[in-house]
Amino acid sequence: QLQLQESGPGRVKPSETMSLTCTVSGGSINSASYYWGWIRQSPGKGPEWIASIYFNGKTYSNPSLQSRVAISTDLSKNKFFLKLRSVTAADTAVYYCARHVVDAYGDPNYFDPWGQGTLVTVSS
Amino acid sequence: IVLTQSPATLSLSPGERATLSCGASQSVSSRYLAWYQQKPGLAPRLLIYDASFRASDIPDRFSGSGSGTHFTLTISRLEPEDFAVYYCHQYGGSPPWTFGQGTKVEIK
């Protein structure tokens, strides 16, 4: 059974860079069947997709965050990563990693499953 | 594409039928819409994909329908474990792929 586990700093100071890791077990991220994505959710709000990455390095990112976001993988360790630069209080949220299922055309579709999430608070 | 869910809160009793709506600001191509269930403190769980296909291990009391700009999630008979927040998610066309703001199904 595929499982995803996020890890991160918990608290980041304004203007700094937030770094998150997603460790995948029970399946390989080196697969043509899936992208691997990051989604965040601020308290009381709907989820917001951040970025997704394919095994060959192809990426998609939300235009609203694109200038501050970097997503990458370490296929040998079955992990993928998110960096978000120049954070502000508006970036405070629970951050989830998830498997991003592709369709017959190789385009990312829905998310299944999700990790349990990690709360990141931006505060000095 | 902006997704608008209604109502924001649905107050029902166990055994009743729940009908949740998701409206899109533009047509969602290929019926590329999913529904998720989220309980407090937990991650969202996929219920429905491609507008009407149930995900693995999802009971058949959950069903999805719709196309274009209007989609519906129906729970035929609410069980106690179904009281939660539900989100729709569109993944058609170019990014950004977006989520609705959620509908909370609460016990009346």
Chain-centre distance for alpha carbon A107? 17
pLDDT at B30: 84
SS3 A78: coil
**Per-residue model confidence as pLDDT tens digits over A104-114:** 999 999 999 99
pLDDT of A82 strictly over 90 = yes
A-chain residue closest to B40, CA distance: A44
Average pLDDT over all residues of chain A: 97
**Per-residue model confidence as pLDDT tens digits over B34-61:** 999 999 999 999 999 999 999 999 999 9
Token pair belonging to B68: 């274009």
Average pLDDT over all residues of chain B: 97
pLDDT at A81: 98
| Distance in Å, alpha carbon of B76 to nearest chain A alpha carbon | 24
pLDDT at B93: 86
Interface contact flag, A109 B46, Cβ < 8 Å: no
